[in-house]
Amino acid sequence: MLDVAAYRLTSSDEIRTVAPGVYENFGSTRRTGVEIEALWLPSDALDFSVAWGEADSKVTRNANADLVGNRVTGVPRHTLTVEANWRPAAAWQGTLVWQKVGRYQVNASNTMNYGGYSVVDLRLAYNGGARHPYTLYAAIDNIADREYATAVNTIGYAAGAPRTFRVGVQASF
């Protein structure tokens, strides 16, 4: 399966956060990009997917003429997610996911950027219940315990989660 989407979005009077509780009219922007997802099912027990996005987000009008043509802050140039699912037996599934978020600009003048990050997650799940479906799962997020930031701006950053172990139940009633 292959899914492709291309887009071109324009906005006016876009509001951006300068600092917590401080906002400004960033002007007009144009966002052009493509998103592609491919899914391959070599067997009933195994599938692979790749989702890739490329974005070009530019300022087209701003009160400060020096910012026109600059990249919009906080918008990564590309993202990539690779996933493998393995079903070794009925009701069981293992999932391995690698996600890469690319470089993006941190400030409006585009003099600071964040190089992006990548993380790997692993999940094992058991799906049961015919009348009332449920899923039991165990997961390890950020297997390599990489230090990264999910968001970066001129006053700081939001740290990404360290290696995290989760167990849980999802149930339908």
**Per-residue pLDDT band at 21 (split at 50, 70, 90):** confident
**Per-residue pLDDT band at 30 (split at 50, 70, 90):** very high
Supply the pLDDT for residue 130.
84
The per-residue pLDDT for range 93-103, each reduced to its tens digit, is 999 999 999 99
Supply the pLDDT for residue 120.
98
Count CB atoms within 10 A of the CB of residue 38: 13
Quote the pTM value.
0.85
- Reduced to 3 DSSP states, what percent helix, strand and coil does the chain have, rounded to the nearest 5? 0, 70, 30
Distance, C-alpha 38 to centroid of its chain? 17
Select the more confidently predicted residue: 23 or 137. 137
Three-state secondary structure call for residue 91? coil
Distance, C-alpha 39 to centroid of its chain? 18
Taking a C-beta distance cutoff of 8 angstroms, is the pair 116, 100 a contact? yes
Residue 59 exposed, middle or buried by CB count within 10 Å (0-12, 13-18, 19+): buried
Supply the pLDDT for residue 44.
94
